[in-house]
């Protein structure tokens, strides 16, 4: 069975409060985008995991795909699987690639091994893996609050736009990014995003991580500035970085070299 776990971007990101459990409450819009890994699994006599494509720092046992497998195997009658993952989504980029892989692994096992779980039940298991992991179960635009695991569907579509994602040759520590942000109540509610034309987003949407991250990694801010200079309707860092995306009405030349670029993706949003 073959699935294609996709990335997400954050349209606005507010850090609203520090929680008693040490985590933070946030408000953001998760939007799925068709930049995909490939995840395949077949039933086997022994469990195995193979990785190709972009390299990862984690060992096979630490990969979130394997964590997803172990959570399902501990609860249900799940056969050993030969699992193959090809990475295209950069890690440490704020694109949710690892969480997507894990969520799609849960969905794959649920179907391949006939577990019969509902989407809500899969979301409950996904929440044990990571705060944004449950988003990829239904994989539709949502306003996310709480730790990023409380979802409200939002009727938002970027269909017909072009998305450019630029990943510089370094990552940003999520832990350090949170440590440098002072929570505050946002002046604009992301639930109102659909009432505003995309051309106005740059004036009301903020990513609270950007000021401190840009101060430490000026190259990320320079990429955002370049995207706007090239005509982006909206540009922002995704999550805590390090990737930056720009939303364009039309495609731009593939020959453009972005500052500090290590990876570049051009994606047409078709649905």
For 108, the token pair is 């794959």
8 part of the active site: yes
Residue where the block lists tokens 């004036």: 203
Say how far apart CA 44 and CA 46 lie, in whole Å. 5
Q: For residue 210, which phi and psi values (nearest 5 degrees)?
A: -60, -50
**In the 8-state DSSP scheme, what is residue 254?**
T
**In the 8-state DSSP scheme, what is residue 11?**
E
User: Which residues lie below 8 Å from residue 179, measured CB to CB, with a gap of 6+?
Assistant: none
Out of 37, 132, 149, 208, the active site residue is: 132
Burial class (CB in 10 A: 0-12, 13-18, 19+), 82: middle
Give one word for 37, left, alpha or beta, with left for phi > 0 and alpha for psi -120 to 50. Answer: beta
Using CA atoms, how far residue 205 sits from 149, 198, 202, in Å, is 20, 10, 6
**In the 8-state DSSP scheme, what is residue 256?**
P
Provide the H-helix boundaries in 127-200: 135-138, 174-179
DSSP strand pairing (2-3 vs 48-53): unpaired
H/E segment holding residue 3: strand 2-3
H/E segment holding residue 49: strand 48-53
61 part of the active site: no
Out of 8, 67, 87, 224, the active site residue is: 8
What amino acid positions are annotated as catalytic residues?
8, 132
């Amino acid at each position: 069975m073959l699935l294609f776990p996709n990335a997400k971007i954050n349209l606005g990101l507010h850090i609203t409060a520090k929680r008693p459990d040490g985590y933070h409450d946030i408000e953001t819009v998760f939007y799925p985008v068709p930049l995909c890994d490939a995840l395949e699994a077949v039933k086997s006599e022994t469990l195995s995991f193979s990785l190709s494509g972009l390299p990862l720092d984690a060992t096979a046992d630490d990969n979130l795909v394997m964590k997803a497998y172990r959570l399902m195997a501990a609860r249900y009658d799940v056969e050993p699987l030969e699992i193959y993952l090809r990475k295209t989504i950069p890690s440490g980029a704020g694109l949710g690639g690892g969480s997507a892989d894990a969520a799609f692994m849960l969905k794959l096992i649920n179907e391949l091994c006939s577990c019969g779980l509902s989407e809500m039940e899969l979301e409950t298991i996904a929440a044990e893996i990571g705060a944004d992991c449950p988003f990829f179960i239904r994989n539709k635009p949502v306003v996310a609050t709480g730790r990023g695991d409380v979802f409200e569907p939002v009727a938002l579509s970027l269909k017909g736009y072009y998305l450019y994602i630029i990943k510089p040759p370094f990552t940003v520590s999520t832990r350090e990014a949170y440590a440098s942000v002072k929570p505050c109540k946002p002046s604009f509610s992301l639930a109102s995003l659909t009432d505003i034309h995309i051309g106005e987003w740059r004036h009301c949407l903020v990513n609270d991580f950007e000021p401190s991250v840009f101060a430490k990694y000026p190259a990320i801010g320079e990429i955002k500035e370049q995207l706007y200079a090239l005509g982006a309707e909206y540009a922002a860092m995704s999550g805590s970085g390090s990737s930056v995306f720009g939303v364009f009405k039309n495609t731009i030349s593939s020959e453009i070299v972005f500052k500090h670029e290590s990876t570049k993706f051009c994606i047409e949003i078709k649905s």
